[in-house]
Amino acid sequence: MNDTGHARGANHHEHRKFDLEREHYRQPVTPAAPAADGTIYTCPMHPEIRQPTPGNCPKCGMTLEPMLPEAGEGENPELADFRHRFWWTLPLTVLVTLIAMSGGLFDGLLGAARPWVELALGTPVVLWSGWPFFVRGVQSVKNRSPNMWTLIGLGTGAAYLYSLVAVVLPGIFPPSFQVDGQFALYFEAAAVIVSLTLLGQVLELKARSETGAAIKALLRLAPKTARRIRADDSEEDIPLTHVHPGDRLRVRPGEKVPVDGVVLAGSSAVDESMLTGEPIPVSKAAGDKLIGATLNTSGALVMRAEKVGAQTVLAQIVEMVAQAQRSHAPMQRMADRVAGWFVLGVVAIALLTFFGWGFFGPQPSWAYGLINAVAVLIIACPCALGLATPMSIMVATGKAATHGVLFRDAAAIETLRKVDTLIVDKTGTLTAGRPAFHGAVAASGGNDAEVLRMAASLDQASEHPLAQTIVAEARRRQLTLSTPEGFESSSGIGVRGVVDGRDVVLGNTVLMEENGVDWHALEQQAETLRQEGASVMFLSVAGKAVGLVAVSDPVKASTPEALDLLRASGLSIIMATGDGDTTARAVGRKLGIDQVFGEVKPKDKDDLVARLQAQGHRVAMAGDGINDAPALARADVGIAMGTGTDVAMNSAQVTLVKGDLRGIASARRVSLATVRNMRQNLLFALLYNALGVPIAAGVLYPLTGMLLSPLIAALAMSFSSVSVVTNALRLRQATV
């Protein structure tokens, strides 16, 4: 909201969110090399990987995704495929696990057919559901980039192949392979590994599918067609892509402005909130600039197209959001940082175990070597290591959601605890984002109620939100309103008309001077109201200034407490808003915010975030409008108000459902507890492998004469996973 008056009565040329004349806003973004169809695919973890076709990252195996999603893009096909594989084979995994872990409960029913039943149940899970994992595991070897897929492929493949051979060709193995006269089978271990991995992939892909939601929402803002006026004044509807600079276009009430341009004829109020975040429509008349994708609320407009396609403000914001999203990779999990060396280490130990026992072990040495190598691969299965982080994230996000805090990805949880600077928007973030009546002040010798009555009587003829606020206050006070006559709206400066037979003017100082009204006697009262954060309109009756009417955007009741909590946690608070400096600084003083930036545009907010990051700060940005989207995406952590626009929420990694800034303090507490829990899980998983792998290799055999059976290894592997899950569940008791 402006500090000099409402949108019809304010100098909107000074305080507009987007200044289309500022060419620095249109700084070009260097695009990637175009593909045949214009789509470039990249890895979220390794943005340097770019190619013109879909596929998997050669470094980590992650599915590549489009750099710039399309508005009509459907569900990720890989997500649909993995979900299909998981649900169709989950019953098989449950059945084979029940049979294998029943302690012989089903032996009376199945008898000698039990191994074949386990083979029949486990094979579809491993070979069909787990096939994509084996493909990625092979690719990791070909690309010489060992990762988690290498471990999954080796662990699952070893367990399954050993079990398959034990069922089909049991004579290959010596009696030492038998446990209580039976061969130990590990179909259930292989099946459980595949199902758990599929579940993790489904959850990850679902979260990753939201990374392009902000861009898709932005693209959907633009209308599909425009109504062009031909040279003979006839009209036609054409696709938006057919609009050229210089075309005359008609924008009817309720329609979106098709492209950036200038008003040629007509007057109306245009809702720019979808791009500016400001709730108050802006009056437009001949000569005023229009922004594509904004909504024409009332009158009909004829405009001239100036910027089309990639040159529009909307297209530039799309580019800025896309660029900011790709400027830093998502969280690199600690498990991934050690995975390469871990894989190589496990494989080396398994091979050393096999050959060491084969050449130097007691008889049957090679049988011992094989069984111990299999035990090493099974006990080193990455279930615990792979579950360590996702389980903590799942529990933490659920816990946070019950307190109105929604995390979009794990990176936000990890990063939020490191943030030292918070940038907040004003309208809709610190304030309610809705106009509220502030007060009416009469000139010396006048009556405040009469000032409000005359202003409300005139405003009855206006549909402007600020006018409705004034009228509503008058009716709340049960003031008797008169019917206005000869109502006129002066674009950007105010309104005029006749009330009770007298000329009445309501607007800013420009309108007062146009009507020859001396307003200077009220200047001090007006400045006092502006210092309180209110927008001020002057009222004149019969050519004489009789008073002021002020409307403000009230601060949310929870905001002062929230800011105190955030300061206590060590955060530095900065306010950046498109509102006028006077109003912005008044609100800043009221809330104890020392650093205030007024009249900033989306590009300025984005630059502010980048500048602070260059100084070494970890920056969080909190906002609610589309104008905040570039800064939300650029920030280390973007925080959106759930009461704001969808684009803001999709650009951010954290959403506060209730629009309450106290949720940021809660989110930071969740971040601290979750990262601590993740580290505990990872430490446990790594220590477990550090102890379990040597035991599986047989280092205790010289002392105890005992070997670790692959069955025991599988049980131990399951125990490690349960332990990790149990520790993660402790987060449900964390204080938020």
Give long-range contacts, CB 8 A cutoff, 24+ apart: 114-120. 115/166, 115/167, 115/183, 115/185, 116/167, 118/163, 118/167, 118/185, 118/187, 118/188, 119/163, 119/164, 119/167, 119/187
Angle formed by the axes of helices 662-697 and 710-729, to 10°? Answer: 170
Spatial contact of 296 and 251, defined as CB atoms under 8 Å apart: yes
Spatial contact of 657 and 405, defined as CB atoms under 8 Å apart: yes
Listed in sequence order, the residues at least 6 apart from 700 whose beta carbon sits closer than 8 Å to its beta carbon are 706
Residue type (1 letter), 246: G
How far lies 459's CA from each of 9, 485, 665, in Å?
12, 11, 42
First to last CA, the chain: 34
Rounded CA separation 731/284 (Å): 54
Residue type (1 letter), 223: P
3-class secondary structure per residue, 509-569: HHHHHHCCCCCHHHHHHHHHHHHCCEEEEEEEECCEEEEEEEEECCECCCHHHHHHHHHHC
Is 604 an active-site residue? no
- DSSP letter for 577, please: -
Locate 304 and state its tokens: 């001239």
Annotated catalytic residue within 425, 553, 606, 624: 425
3-class secondary structure per residue, 322-336: HHHHCCCCCCCCHHH
Angle (CA) 40 41 43, round 5°: 145
Rounded CA separation 534/550 (Å): 6
Q: What are phi and psi of 298, to 5 degrees?
A: -135, -85
How far lies 257's CA from each of 205, 237, 272, 345, 446, in Å?
36, 13, 10, 61, 44
Locate 688 and state its tokens: 């477990």
Angle (CA) 13 321 247, round 5°: 50
Rounded CA separation 344/294 (Å): 56
Task: Name the residue among 383, 340, 334, 393 with its Cα closest to residue 688.
Answer: 383
Residue type (1 letter), 475: R
| Residue 51: strand pairing partners | 41
What dihedral angle (degrees, nearest 10) is formed by the CA atoms of 248, 250, 255, 257?
20
- DSSP letter for 428, please: I
Spatial contact of 131 and 120, defined as CB atoms under 8 Å apart: no
Rounded CA separation 617/565 (Å): 20
Rounded CA separation 689/709 (Å): 16
- DSSP letter for 658, please: T
Question: Which residues are designated catalytic?
Answer: 425
